[in-house]
A and B are shown apart, each in its own frame.
Chain A
């Protein structure tokens, strides 16, 4: 009994350690700057001033739209291409299939530190810097996504595919009309993983985008905080940070299980 109480105590203290800072950040973002220093739990005064100033200072709505477009298109691409390639690897026989499978595994082990500089040069030579192309095209294919689709498709019954073939379905129809409705868990897992990763990506946008109207949310917030335009206004900085974190936290509240599964699968690839 005592043991259990101690366990619960440890768990509750840990839960506070992992979540309270976020609560503090939110409360600080709705407090006047003067009050943030003394803020512990309840704000003495509530104001939306920090958010008003943030909207006036930086094109945050535009950045939100950019992030939605970029992450949305990347996710669509990864799902469409990933399931096509994963299907071919799992369900079709052709020469070179194993070779391609091992290539995909191999590319996952290449650290991105080696491709960062030449990929930037490629963007410069294609005239893609300061365009959506640079933010989207390199991410449309994702090795881990392909592997996850392949793995899942291997477990589907062959009769499903045979029946569709007898009805005269082409392979694309089979993938998107027959396989997809039977693969909702893997689609959700890959979609969430891809969307979250591209939503939070900041290094690549910092490299290829200089034009403010094309910046994604994390990039705009980073440059706002680092570049001195937030001056020393703590509340405005924290407001922009809350604005950046909120969409993913809301999504997490609904799809918690899939978030955890998708992150676990990235862990296990190693």
Chain B
């Protein structure tokens, strides 16, 4: 044991090195970079607060922020309703529960690239399966990806389809923690199915709801490959997401300082939103 005094430090040293190189340095350097104008190749030029001033005056930055919030405002309610609904049904002691769970989960594990390529075809205006179906049942075509009002909701629907399997499982785990006696007592009082759901289930699985909301908020701010492949951020920047804009500024225009300022702004925003959402759990439970 004595000779082993150093052993724990040797064991954790890879973490320390990784932490310094890939966490401490990048975060510190990123903050520094926001005060410079730099394209990686030429000399760094000090520019004071110019990047921050530019940020607040940049129409595209605001557009990306609003787009992300628009995405979340559709994605979060939709996935909460769908996943809670299906989890509640799966929780009814039915046969083949495991099989259904496994099938619902399939889109979660498949690469986002493959899912996006697939949905780009489903959303096609003339030949897409969805519009064909709408025509077949006598409704008109929808400009899923070509209408500026529809493009972001279309991406939100696809993202919901891809992730909902995970949230179903999280809710199932949550539902199984609700004590059975509560329902039995409510049944004796003559409570209906809906009353039980709203008065017992919903308050008790509140932590899961917040967890799902936090996960999808982080996901929304990380939305990238879907608009990158489907729309390139268009039409008319209607699907320009926060991360896609950082990517464009950084790796298309090589505005390293400005892209860093964008990165820091969005990172702080994500952290603030998550902290507020966490506080909300503590208050409710």
Contact = CB atoms under 8 A, between A and B. Distances in A.
Interface of A: 4, 7-8, 10-11, 14-15, 17-19, 21-22, 24-25, 28, 36-37, 40, 81, 84-85, 87-89, 92-94, 97, 100, 103-104, 107, 109-122, 124, 138, 140-141, 146, 170-171, 196, 199-200, 202-203, 206-207, 218, 221-222, 225-226, 234, 237-238, 240-242, 244-245, 248-249, 252, 256, 259-260, 263-264, 267-268, 270
B14 A264 contact: no
Given A113-B267, A119-B22, A140-B14, 16 more contacts: A15-B100, A24-B129, A36-B127, A103-B19, A111-B267, A111-B270, A113-B266, A115-B27, A121-B40, A122-B22, A122-B26, A240-B117, A241-B113, A252-B109, A256-B105, A259-B105
Contacts of B108: 263
B118 interface: yes
A104 B211 contact: no
Where chain B touches its partner, the secondary structure class is: helix
A256 B197 CA distance: 30
Interface residues of B, number: 84
A248 B214 CA distance: 26
A236 B66 CA distance: 35
Contacts of B237: none
A19 B242 contact: no
Contacts of A260: 101-102, 105, 169
Interface stretch (B4-12, B177-185, B198-206): B4-12
B112 A118 contact: no
Contact of A238 (B9, B102, B117, B243): B117
Contacts of B212: 267
Given A119-B26, A200-B112, A85 B12 contact: yes
21 contacts: A7-B94, A15-B100, A18-B161, A40-B129, A88-B7, A109-B271, A109-B274, A115-B26, A117-B256, A118-B26, A118-B29, A118-B30, A120-B250, A124-B40, A140-B14, A200-B113, A207-B247, A249-B106, A252-B106, A263-B108, A264-B166
Contact of B229 (A4, A15, A87, A226): A226
A88 B13 CA distance: 11
Contacts of A28: 121
B264 A114 contact: yes
Contacts of B107: 18, 22
A11 B91 CA distance: 12
Contact of A107 (B8, B23, B246): B23
B269 to A, nearest CB: 9
The 9 closest A-B pairs by CB, nearest first: A118-B26, A114-B267, A94-B8, A115-B26, A88-B11, A245-B114, A141-B18, A111-B267, A241-B117
Contact of B118 (A25, A81, A171): A25
Contact of A249 (B110, B118, B266, B274): B110
B142 interface: no
Contacts of B90: 11
B244 to A, nearest CB: 10
A184 to B, nearest CB: 21
A120 B19 contact: no
Please indicate which of the listed interface residues A118, A237, A268 has the most CB atoms of chain B within 10 Å of its own CB. Answer: A118
A247 to B, nearest CB: 10
B11 A244 contact: no
Interface stretch (B52-60, B69-77, B148-156, B217-225): B217-225
Contacts of A40: 129
